[in-house]
Amino acid sequence: MTIQYRHNGMGWKADLHSPLDIAIPMGIHGPKAWYVQPPVMAPVMENGFIGSIAEGGKVNFFQVNFNPHGNGTHTETLGHIDPEQFPISKWKGPFFTHALLVSVAPQTLSNGDEVILWEQISEKVLHHRPAALIIRTAPNDASKKTRDYSNTNFPYLEEEIGRRLNEMGVIHLLVDLPSVDRESDEGQLTCHHAFWGFPDFPRKDATISEMIFVNDEILDGLYCLSLQPPSFELDAAPSRPILYPVVHVE
């Protein structure tokens, strides 16, 4: 099956038979951040009911305890920084968008911070003007799928990236980091605020997805992004972003 759409006056065709999953499965060995514990997945055992076939039950019926921001791939809305807590259940898409994947190595500042700068990605972003931007950081080793990012001062995006993407109308920002902002920044979250235009011109249609993983077999370039997080009444939910290859059509 294929879909066709237009973006910036150009026609594109996406092959839905060739999905490229850029989510990290949530599990006890998955990545975590913000000092949270790994997810807990345990069978319900009540009043003689056994929620595990392996333990003699008729069905698998598990209870799950996790933190969407700290346990793996997740998508968050403006509600992450808005006192009104705009939930992801009220986010109405768009669910399919024209996306650009770029790879970049963070720059080391004088204070030791590793930061992705607008000037490193601006040429490609301004040329393609996508609706969604996916940033893959180097080095891109598999440890990203199991890493504990707590108290590591992981790389982050400078505020200018959030501001520029806001001005361009980019509605989805996806990164393979636990946050677009510095781990410890006294709650400023400057890139979050700039991207969402909060508080002056808040963008409820825009989302940020964090802790994705884009393996090296997926090349930089243009894709169709499918982003449909579950309808949680929270500012964030576990997510499974999918990319589809695209070709230009007349």
Six-digit token string for 83: 């006192």
> What is the β-pairing status of strands 49-50 and 45-46?
antiparallel
Number of domains in the chain: 1
Residue with tokens 């499965």: 25
Residue 232: give its domain's CATH number. 3.50.30.50
What b/e readout covers 235-249, taking b as 16+ CB neighbours within 10 angstroms?
A: bbbbbbbbbbbbeee
In angstroms and rounded to an integer, the radius of gyration of the C-alpha atoms of the chain is: 19
Range of the domain at 110: 2-32+68-249
pLDDT at 129: 98
| pLDDT one-digit tens code per residue, 121-160 | 999 999 999 999 999 999 999 999 999 999 999 999 999 9
First and final C-alpha spacing in the chain: 19
How high is the pLDDT of residue 11?
A: 97
Write the pLDDT tens digit of every residue in 216-241. Answer: 999 999 999 999 999 999 999 999 99
Domain-embedded: residue 204? yes
74 is a domain residue = yes
Q: Which pLDDT score is estimated for 26?
A: 92
pLDDT for residue 250: 78
Examine residue 82 and state whether it is found in any structural domain, yes or no. yes
The rounded average pLDDT for each run of 10 residues, N- to C-terminus, in the chain (250 residues) is: 94 96 96 97 96 98 97 97 94 95 98 97 98 98 97 98 98 98 97 98 97 98 97 97 95
| Residue 58: inside a domain | no
Indicate whether 50 belongs to any domain.
no
